[in-house]
Amino acid sequence: MSHFVSISGLPHKLEVNSEPGALLEICELNGISFPRCRQGRCGSCQVRLVSGSVSEEKAMTALSLSERKRGAILPCVVIARSDIHIEMWKYD
């Protein structure tokens, strides 16, 4: 199943499938690159989930509880479960 992702700063919605790593891949195909481990350990691809729902394919070990409460997700290990909106913003 596929869903649509809107990314702050991009003028259009992108279709993303419900497979592990698909969200990171669609970001990269649209010119948003991250240094990455692709395992949820480094946190370099951290973005904010503004709306919608995702599930973790692997544990997001790089995120603190505080970051998670503020909406942080790691595109390398989450799967879109609905249409989502994300902001390319790294927490302090």
- Distance (Å, whole) CA 24 – CA 9: 16
Spatial CA neighbour of 38 closest among 60, 16, 11, 7: 60
Determine the Cα angle at 92 with ends 38 and 37, to 5°: 10
Tens of pLDDT, residue by residue over 16-26, are 888 877 888 88
Q: pTM for the whole thing?
A: 0.83
> Has residue 3 got a pLDDT over 80?
yes
Spatial CA neighbour of 57 closest among 36, 37, 39: 39
> Has residue 91 got a pLDDT over 60?
no
- Distance (Å, whole) CA 82 – CA 77: 16
Tell me whether strands 47-51 and 84-87 are parallel, antiparallel or unpaired. Answer: antiparallel
Q: Cα–Cα distances in Å, from 33 out to 45, 75, 76, 82? A: 8, 11, 12, 23
